[in-house]
A and B are shown apart, each in its own frame.
Chain A
Amino acid sequence: MSEVPLPYRVTRVRPETADTVSVALAPAGEESLAPFMPGQFAMVYAFGVGEIPVSVSGIGDHELEHTVRSVGAVSAALCALRPGGRIGLRGPFGTGWELGRAAGRDLLVVAGGIGLAPLRPLVTAALAAPHAYGRLNLLVGARTPDDLPYAGQVHAWSASHGPPYCQVTVDRPAPAWRGRVGVVTTLLNGAAFAPGNTTAFVCGPEVMIRVTARELVHRGLAPHRIRVSLERNMRCATGHCGHCQLGGVLLCRDGPVIGWDRAESLLSAREL
């Protein structure tokens, strides 16, 4: 349903970082939204406050999860939700990661901070079909160790011998940090993938996406094999409000996941 939010009930709340919360949601009534694909988003409605676009960070049989960072009125209201609370959802909207088109290829998942949220269901889906894909690499960067979402799961992945072959780096270490320090692209040398047979999935701050995608092209990935998830202001998610324009792209309709072949020029012009 795209017109009116469908009521959903908060089933669980899990703090991720100081300003970020994951909220698990189940339909409040009989009706539920159509199934979401990894990379798609919902318009999440906080009653009396407003509505924002949020990618799904978890897809269950009867549950959806959204990970929200408190940066404005609506996201603050969502972060303050408690189990049993009610919100509205519209969706699913937008393009997904299209994992199916990477069958047989190495997967390189690169996340910056909360950019891991929309990638998480992709990793879950790839892990559920281990024979469908080549090596699954997960590279995660965060500002500080405390800004790493899903820290328990990510650290468990890094400690295991994969898949996913997970590496973590931070920009600014804390005293107890024993891991890598530096931007996320510094992890590429430690990742095993065949550039000619790899599909990359990248989400994070725009500067991180730009730097990562350019580095991957430099290493031999075809631009259209680099899928990036972008973000703009969004009011309707149905292609009618005009806010999510990025050049000729309407991100709610043609995105949020687009190929780097299309995104490169759009992210290279200032203030586009």
Chain B
Amino acid sequence: MTAAPATAVLDRDGLDALVGVLRAQGRTVVGPTVRDGAVVLAEIASADALPFGWGTEVEAGRYRLVPRTDGAAFAHTTGPQSWKAFLHPERERLWSADRRADGRLSVAAERPQRPSYAFLGVRPCDLRAIAVQDRVLATGRHRDRGYQERRTGAFLIAAECTEPGATCFCVSMGGGPAAEAGYDLALTELVDETGHRFFVRVGSDAGREVLSGVPGRPAGPGTESAARAAVDAARERMGRAMPPVDLRTLMGDSLEADRWDDVAARCLTCGNCTMVCPTCFCTTTEEVTDLTGDHAERWQRWDSCFDLDFSYLHGGPVRASARSRYRQWLTHKLSTWYDQFGSSGCVGCGRCVTWCPVGIDITEEAAALHDELAARLRRQDEREEREP
């Protein structure tokens, strides 16, 4: 018996068969689909639901769907959601508590049936974002059991990027448009004179097994090199870039920068950036009781560090000003995340830039902070030269 090959080529029917195989395994297949003028993530019953023939035009504070003539399914950039909507859902019950007539309490942990997901079309930046959330929620002394269960059962099919958007900057965050790790299967979409097809690479045993049940054909060297070339070209076409400096140190040295006042004058503290960010994980809890008052439930929901209540201590919020809240977001994402979880919290997906209602651009803010720090250090050097 020979092992199934590590690569293959699927056509559009093959992609549909892939969805069918995953659904036959009992998985909930989630992929990009067009709804309400955006590419959103939702359960799909067949590959036909994918956004064939749709691209996106993005800029700071702007997102538009545009039709494409080539019929490509994965030529869009990241949408308003990320996979955290499924792995780390917006609302989740943590426990239920009941009070008996004699006053005794009983508390029951939540043990629901976890869906077995297959994610189709995970961008390489989002693969890295999932790895970031894995470090936050599923490693360390305490684990988020719900996250861990959903994550362990999830089958990931990456879609490498060949059409980066104007707000993309993954390359400058140490990533890139190629899927490198953490996937079961990786697709590269090709539309050229040979036709519309998907080059598939196997990333895990589970991926190999699923692929073996899908009618495809072996990938010739031409397809593989065309796929490489398309992804390599995308690497050179990133719309934005972070300043090429050590962002972790830059943020740590910029806590008292004037630039925070400048960005605070524009920031609405709406929290959109934290909602669309694929790594933002913060949650709060709510206590809910029924009408008898003897049944209570503890719910967890997404929270944002831009909310005043987020830092509330008796007496008031610790971070009352917009300046301090924007600073918290950016310094956490780019700097203190390393202290807490051993990596950057930013993967360069560009969502926070695209979905900011006033178009605040994280790369522009980082560059401005760098310029301010550089100017401050220059002045300091000059002073020291004058007064040795």
Give the interface of A toward B (CB within 8 A).
2-7, 28, 45, 47-51, 69, 71-72, 75, 84-88, 231-233, 235-236, 238-243, 245, 247-250, 253, 269-272
10 inter-chain pairs at a CB distance below 8 angstroms, sorted by A residue, are A4-B94, A4-B107, A7-B104, A48-B289, A84-B103, A242-B283, A243-B310, A245-B340, A269-B255, A271-B323
Q: Are B340 and A250 in contact (CB under 8 A)?
A: yes
- Which of B282, B331, B339 is close to A242, meaning CB atoms less than 8 Å apart? B282
CA distance A19 to B340 in the complex (A): 36
The distance in angstroms between the C-alpha atoms of A241 and B286, with both chains bound, is 13
Evaluate contact between B105 and A47: CB separation under 8 angstroms. yes
Chain A residues with Cβ below 8 Å from B311 are 232-233, 243
B324-352 CB contacts (< 8 Å) to partner A? 324, 328, 331-332, 335-336, 338-340
Contact status of A28 and B303, CB under 8 A, knowing A232-B311, A239-B140, A241-B282: no
B230–chain A nearest beta-carbon distance, Å:
38
CB within 8 Å for A5 and B339 given contacts A238-B142, A242-B283: no
CB of B246 to closest CB in A, whole Å: 15
- Residues of B near A87 (CB, < 8 A) are 105
Whether the pair B95, A240 counts as a contact (CB closer than 8 A) is no
Write out the residue numbers on chain B whose beta carbons fall within 8 Å of the beta carbon of A75: 314
Cβ contact within 8 Å between B296 and A48: yes
- B194 CB within 8 Å of chain A: no
Known contacts A5-B95, A239-B142, A247-B336, then 19 further A-B pairs from the complex at CB < 8 Å, ordered by chain A residue: A4-B94, A4-B108, A4-B109, A7-B104, A7-B107, A45-B107, A48-B296, A50-B285, A71-B315, A86-B99, A233-B311, A235-B283, A238-B142, A239-B136, A240-B142, A240-B144, A241-B300, A241-B303, A248-B338
CB within 8 Å of A: which B299-327 residues: 300, 303, 305, 310-315, 318-321, 323-324
CA–CA, A88 and B98, complex, Å: 11
Q: How far is the CA of A272 from the CA of B296 in the complex (A)?
A: 34
> Distance (Å) between the CB of B172 and the closest chain A CB?
23
* C-alpha spacing A271/B255, complex, angstroms: 10
* A72 CA / B312 CA spacing, docked (Å): 11
Q: Is B287 an interface residue (CB 8 A)?
A: yes
Partner of A71, one of B314, B321, B331: B314
Assess whether B145 is in contact with A3, with CB atoms less than 8 Å apart: yes
Chain B residues near A85 (CB-CB < 8 A): 103
Q: Is B256 in contact with chain A by the CB < 8 A criterion?
A: yes
Query: Closest Cβ of chain B: how far from A147's Cβ, in Å?
Result: 15
Contact in complex: A7, B321 (CB < 8 Å):
no
Q: Which residues of B contact A (CB under 8 A)?
A: 94-95, 97, 99, 103-109, 136-137, 140-142, 144-145, 255-256, 281-285, 287, 289, 293, 296, 298, 300, 303, 305, 310-315, 318-321, 323-324, 328, 331-332, 335-336, 338-340
Please name all residues of chain B whose beta carbon is closer than 8 Å to the beta carbon of A269 when the two chains form the complex.
Answer: 255-256
With A and B bound together, what is the CA distance between A69 and B332 in angstroms? Answer: 31
CB nearest neighbor in B for A49:
B287
Q: How far, in angstroms, from A80 to B94 measured CA to CA in the complex?
A: 26
Q: Which 6 A-B pairs have the closest CB atoms?
A: A248-B339, A242-B282, A271-B324, A238-B142, A71-B314, A248-B336
* Cβ contacts under 8 Å, A50 to chain B: 285, 287
B residues near A271, Cβ cutoff 8 Å: 318-321, 323-324
Q: Are B336 and A245 in contact (CB under 8 A)?
A: yes
With A47-B99, A247-B339 known to touch, is A272 a contact of B324 (CB < 8 Å)?
yes
Alpha-carbon distance A232/B335, docked complex (angstroms): 20
Task: Give the docked Cα–Cα distance between A236 and B145 (Å).
Answer: 13
- Complex contacts, A238 vs chain B, CB 8 Å: 141-142, 144
Given the complex of chains A and B, what is the CA–CA distance between A94 and B332 in angstroms?
21
* Known A4-B95, A245-B336, A271-B320; contact A239-B303, beta-carbon cutoff 8 A: no
Write the chain A residue with the least CB distance to B288. A48
Complex contacts, A239 vs chain B, CB 8 Å: 136, 140-142
A29 CB, nearest partner CB in chain B, Å: 9
Residues of B within 8 A of A2 (CB): 142
Residues of chain A within 8 A (CB-CB) of B328 are 245, 272
Interface centre among A49, A233, A240, A249 (most CB of B within 10 A): A240
Beta-carbon contact of A235 and B285 below 8 Å = yes
Q: Which residues of B contact A6 (CB under 8 A)?
A: 107
Min CB gap B129→A, angstroms: 16
Q: Which residues of chain B come closer than 8 Å to A84, judged between CB atoms?
A: 103
**A270 proximity list for chain B (CB < 8 A):** 324
Given contacts A7-B104, A48-B287, A241-B283, contact A233 B319 (CB under 8 A): no
Q: How far is the CA of A254 from the CA of B324 in the complex (A)?
A: 22
Give the shortest distance, in Å, between B108 (CB) and chain A (any CB). 7
Residues on A with C-beta less than 8 A from B109 are 3-4
